[in-house]
Amino acid sequence: MESDVNSKLDELLKWFERNCQGRAIVALSGGVDSSLVVYGASKTLGRERVLAVTTKSQINLDEDLLWAERVASSVGVEHVVIETDELKYENFRSNPPNRCYFCKDNLYSIMVKIKGPTDTLLDGLNASDLRVHRPGFLAKRKYQVRSPLAEVGLTKEDVRGLAKVLGLPNWDRPSESCLASRVPYGEEVTREKLARIREAEVAVKELSNVSVVRVRSHGELARIEVPKEEMFKLFERDTFSKVADRLEGLGFTYVTIDLRGYRSGSLDLVLRRKVIPLEGDRTSQHLI
C-alpha cells in the first residue's frame, strides 16, 4: 500500500518537472484536489514558482476561501484572492446546462492575464471528473489549462489517499460545489436564492450534524440531500420538524428529504446532452 502511494506521488511530481517551465499558476478552490496540485507543484518547483489563485464570490461557500487560505499558508505559496460576480452575466444567471462553462471561462480569463510567457495554468480536475458532466472542460481547453491529476490518472480516491498521507489540512473535507449547482437548469440564479440556499444548508448542518448536505431549490420546494448513512440523524429527537421550521422560515413552502440520499450532480440527471470529457474506454494523455 505504501509503495503504491509513493509510486503515485512520484508520478505526479515528475509531471510537474516535465510540464512546468516557469511558474505554476493554480486555480485553488479550497478543495482537496486543487490543494494536492498546489502541494505537488511547490514540492517539485519550489514555493517561489507557485501562485495559487482563488476567487471570492457569492456563489461559493464561505469556508472555501478559508480552506484555500489555510492550504496556501501551510504549503507556503503566494496566494491571490480575486473578487468576482458571476451574476453580472446573463449567460450564467439564466442557468443553462452549460452554466459552469461561463464560470470557468471567467476564472481562466483572469488567470491568463496573470500568466507569463513560460507559466503554466493548472486546475484540480481529476480522472474521476472525466466521466461526468463537466461543461467547464471546454473553457479549460480554450485557455490551455492543464490538469496534472487527471493526466497522470489519479482518481478521487487516489487524491484523498495521497492528501491524507501528505498531511494536507483538508484531506478529509467533503467535496463541495458552488451554490448555483443547487438551482435546477433553466431556473434563474439570483442573489436571493443563493442566500436562502446558503442559510438553509447551514441550518440543516447545525440542527442535524450531518457531514454533507445539499438543499436543492425547486422554486418553493427545498429538496434536502444528505448521505444515506446519515439520514437517520434527521429523524432523531424531532430534528426533521426543526429543520422544516427553519427552512420554512427562510421562505420555502415545502421541505422534503430525497430518499436517494446525497448524489453529486443530481440535477444533471435530467440532461439529455452532457459535456463528458471522456466516454466509454477512450483515454487521453493530454487533456487540452
Domains within the chain, CATH numbers bracketed: 2-166 (3.40.50.620), 179-263 (3.30.70.2210)
Q: What is the bridge-based pairing of β-strands 214-218 and 120-122?
A: unpaired
pLDDT for the residue numbered 284 = 42
DSSP 10: H
pLDDT for the residue numbered 281 = 40
How many residues appear in the chain? Answer: 288
Distance CA 245, CA 254 (A): 10
Q: How crowded is residue 164: how many other Cβ atoms within 10 Å of its Cβ?
A: 13
Burial of 69 (0-12, 13-18, 19+ CB in 10 A): middle
pLDDT for the residue numbered 186 = 97
* 273 in Cβ contact with 97 (< 8 Å): yes
Q: How crowded is residue 6: how many other Cβ atoms within 10 Å of its Cβ?
A: 12
Q: What is the mean pLDDT of each run of 10 residues along the chain (288 residues)?
A: 77 97 97 98 98 97 96 97 96 96 96 97 96 93 96 95 95 94 98 98 97 97 98 93 98 97 93 77 41
pLDDT for the residue numbered 3 = 61
